[in-house]
Chain A
């Protein structure tokens, strides 16, 4: 399980940003791709542990799941996969290996304490 070390990176990065801007964090918003290799439940659990004893203690991690989007060479446009066990265009069935979205592991916003 590598979610704990990833959670610690998230806490470090968020805290660094908070200190730089002199703000306090209520929640960290994260985009998490289905192909990121990170398990959401494990990450949420690890985030709480990683926050312990830091200025982020008690803050939340708000995860936005990013589905896998591939480029379909037949339809000539991006398509969202129905299943990560089937890398084919959901409309025409053409195999599609070019991944456009789904690998995200990105902090997108900090929700600040009022």
Chain B
């Protein structure tokens, strides 16, 4: 008879290192009055186009900036820079998601006290980013009408972990026979009560509603900032 296995009880959160950095970032953002929004989606969901439009419209009214995670190229950062906002690339190499330490390192000399809104565009991926807190206040998950209505059911973890959903390329909805009701039902199934915005960065449809929501949540968060 083999002896009983000797079990040594420990309790260690595997992602503790990331969580600690994310918590410190969140405290820092809050203390400096910077509201932080991250974006996750699959590749090709129109994340960069949507963010470029958002930055362009917000820039006259808010001090905005963006960090953009990308596997190798700098194309997304160059596109976003056309908005006139400060933009920095985080090249992740082979890593398929951003981690809190990368956000921390990329902030470098940016003075957060001079930024109202900071956007963080994650690497195009609906799986891996789900595990990593980046210290953001608001996590947006984007879904384009060309991806189909069942995306939330295929990726429940990332949808459940987001605070609001944005359906992009809504101008193409009719052409691809996108079923809005089903899409919304699927989002609510994996995240009851989730706010859903339907937008087109091309025609501007729905952008106003989304930007108003951003302005409101930003104001609410700055009023809650302990002095």
- Closest-CB distance, B32 to chain A (whole angstroms): 28
User: Is the CB–CB distance between A109 and B192 below 8 Å?
Assistant: no
Q: Select which of A13, A37, A85, A97 is within 8 A of B131 by beta carbon.
A: A37
User: Is the CB–CB distance between B192 and A17 below 8 Å?
Assistant: no
| A-side interface residues, number (CB < 8 Å) | 37
- Closest-CB distance, B212 to chain A (whole angstroms): 23
Bitwise interface map of B from 1 to 28 toward A, beta carbon under 8 Å scored 1, else 0: 0010111111111110100000000000
- A40→B131 CA distance, assembly (Å): 14
Is there a chain B Cβ closer than 8 Å to A1's Cβ? yes
Decide yes or no: A84 and B157 within 8 Å by CB, A2-B128, A37-B127, A95-B192 being known contacts. Answer: yes
- Closest-CB distance, B133 to chain A (whole angstroms): 11
Q: Which residues of chain B have C-beta atoms less than 8 A from A85's C-beta?
A: 153, 156, 189-190
Q: Select which of A2, A36, A112 is within 8 A of B6 by beta carbon.
A: A112
- Closest-CB distance, B55 to chain A (whole angstroms): 28
Nearest B-chain residue to A84, judged by Cβ? B156
Is there a chain A Cβ closer than 8 Å to B47's Cβ? no
Q: Which residues of chain A have C-beta atoms less than 8 A from B189's C-beta?
A: 85-88
User: Is the CB–CB distance between B192 and A2 below 8 Å?
Assistant: no
- Closest-CB distance, B136 to chain A (whole angstroms): 16
Q: Which residues of chain A have C-beta atoms less than 8 A from B97's C-beta?
A: 2
User: Is the CB–CB distance between A10 and B188 below 8 Å?
Assistant: no
Is there a chain B Cβ closer than 8 Å to A96's Cβ? yes
Bitwise interface map of A from 52 to 73 toward B, beta carbon under 8 Å scored 1, else 0: 0000000000000000000000
| B-side interface residues, number (CB < 8 Å) | 33
Nearest A-chain residue to B2, judged by Cβ? A114
User: Is the CB–CB distance between A111 and B5 below 8 Å?
Assistant: yes
User: Is the CB–CB distance between B12 and A5 below 8 Å?
Assistant: no
Q: Select which of A1, A84, A86, A105 is within 8 A of B13 by beta carbon.
A: A105
User: Is the CB–CB distance between A1 and B96 below 8 Å?
Assistant: yes
Nearest B-chain residue to A107, judged by Cβ? B12
User: Is the CB–CB distance between B13 and A106 below 8 Å?
Assistant: yes
- Closest-CB distance, B204 to chain A (whole angstroms): 31
Is there a chain A Cβ closer than 8 Å to B130's Cβ? yes
Chain B residues in contact with chain A, CB under 8 A? 3, 5-15, 17, 95-97, 127-131, 153, 156-158, 160-161, 188-193
Given contacts A2-B96, A9-B17, A87-B192, 16 further A-B contacts (CB under 8 A): A2-B95, A2-B97, A2-B131, A6-B15, A37-B127, A39-B127, A87-B190, A88-B189, A105-B13, A107-B10, A107-B11, A107-B14, A109-B9, A109-B10, A110-B7, A111-B6
8 nearest A-B residue pairs (beta carbon)? A95-B192, A37-B130, A37-B131, A2-B128, A107-B12, A112-B6, A97-B192, A110-B8
Some 22 contacts from A to B, beta carbons below 8 A apart, are: A2-B131, A6-B14, A9-B15, A13-B12, A13-B14, A21-B8, A37-B127, A84-B160, A85-B156, A85-B190, A86-B190, A87-B190, A88-B189, A95-B188, A97-B193, A99-B160, A105-B15, A105-B131, A106-B11, A107-B14, A108-B9, A112-B8
